[in-house]
Amino acid sequence: MIPPPNASPAPRQAGSAQDHPFAPRLGPTAILHLAGAVSLAAWAALSWISWHPAPRDVWRLLGLLAIAWCALGVVWTQIRHPAPPIRWLPLLFWPAAFRVCGLIANPVLEDDHFRYLWDGRQLVLTGNPYTAPPSAAFNGPELPPEWVGILDQINYPHIPTVYGPVCQAAFGISYLLAPGQLWPWKLLLLAAEAAMVLGIARVGGPRAAALAAWCPLAVFEGSFNAHPDLLGVALLVQALNRVGPGPGSWLGLAVACRWPAVVIVPWVLPIRSWREWLAGGVTLAAVYAPFAWTGATDLSGLRTFAGQWEFNSSV
């Protein structure tokens, strides 16, 4: 029946489909949980692949990492505005779950971790891992079988290690906890990353910390591949926070961990902060002194590395 021309339209019921043409909609917390679950599925699949390698792993790796990056993009859409309150449970629970997948995984398309294990052993047994390259052990005393397997898989064994004294100290702690095992080193990196995320929260706020925790690059290179650069980044963040002994000392430790950190130093220490520059120099010298006194540092390996390697040639 057609209503009269002047008749008013019938009132709509509250909650009808006309009121919510796109209903039902997910709330921000549900979206964060959904993004976390999808990303966790990708990381779990990558962890499984690490134990069951196949010829085309690189394509599966890229696909799974793409899923994790898309999940990060979804998280960014939910937290980039200051108005919505931060939901700490999904923001912290899911990144922790990602790292559990990495903790139980084998490194993916990486063999640098064999060098970390060997350096830790050399530091504890000889006091200086820089004095001889791994190849010097080829004709040396007989090694336990597990260490023969580790030594055989070190890349460029004729070149002394290039990892700084702070890294070597962490490698040594890992060796003391469980010789020849990677899990202690991964746990140390997880502790460093936790300190890094807390430091980022102090510098850039909780949203910046959430992005660092969800970042696929940090998950992949940290908990999966156990890359030591994460330790240096954690020290740099402490320098930005200006806590404890001061930024100069933190920067000295960061440079003693990985030399590329020296690029950051002028951006953190003002030219006139001579006390902090002095603190950084003294810290760096103190960390290197025991190795220089016993005859070798990472500089010999770094010279070979800088002179013979080609970096990012496609760029």
The whole-number pLDDT of residue 142 equals 84
Nearest-angstrom CA–CA distance, 192 and 185: 11
Specify the amino acid at residue 112: D
Specify the amino acid at residue 131: T
Can the peptide bond before residue 24 be classed as cis, meaning omega within 30 degrees of 0? yes
Q: Which residues contact 144 (CB under 8 A, 6 or more apart)?
A: none
Provide the token pair at 131: 């004095």
Q: How far is the CA of 26 from the CAs of 34, 35, 89, 146, 297, in angstroms?
A: 10, 12, 17, 52, 56
**Taking the CA of residue 103 as centre, how many other CA atoms within 13 Å lie in the half-sphere pointing to its CB?**
15
The whole-number pLDDT of residue 174 equals 97
Nearest-angstrom CA–CA distance, 188 and 231: 9
Burial 54-69 (b: 16+ CB within 10 A, else e): eeeeeeebeebbebbe
Annotate 202-244 with DSSP letters as a single string: HHH-HHHHHHHHH-HHHIIIIIIT--THHHHHHHHHHHHHT-T
DSSP 86: P
Nearest-angstrom CA–CA distance, 202 and 237: 10
Q: 233 near 248, Cβ under 8 Å?
A: no
Q: Which residue carries 């999966």 as its tokens?
A: 224
The whole-number pLDDT of residue 5 equals 53
The three-state (H, E, C) secondary structure of 159-202, written as one string: CCCCCCHHHHHHHHHHHHHCCCCCHHHHHHHHHHHHHHHHHHHH
Nearest-angstrom CA–CA distance, 72 and 256: 32
pLDDT in tens, the chain (315 residues): 445 555 555 554 444 444 444 335 777 788 889 999 999 999 999 999 999 877 667 888 899 999 999 999 999 988 877 666 667 777 889 999 999 999 999 999 889 999 999 999 999 999 999 999 999 998 878 888 899 999 999 998 998 999 999 999 999 999 999 999 999 999 999 999 999 999 998 888 888 898 999 999 999 999 999 999 999 999 999 988 877 778 889 999 999 998 888 888 888 877 667 888 898 899 999 999 999 898 888 777 777 766 666 555 555
Instruction: Looking at the chain, list the stretches that DSSP marks H as alpha helix, in order from N- to C-terminal side.
Output: 28-51, 57-79, 88-103, 113-126, 145-152, 165-177, 183-204, 206-214, 216-218, 229-241, 247-257, 265-268, 274-293, 299-308
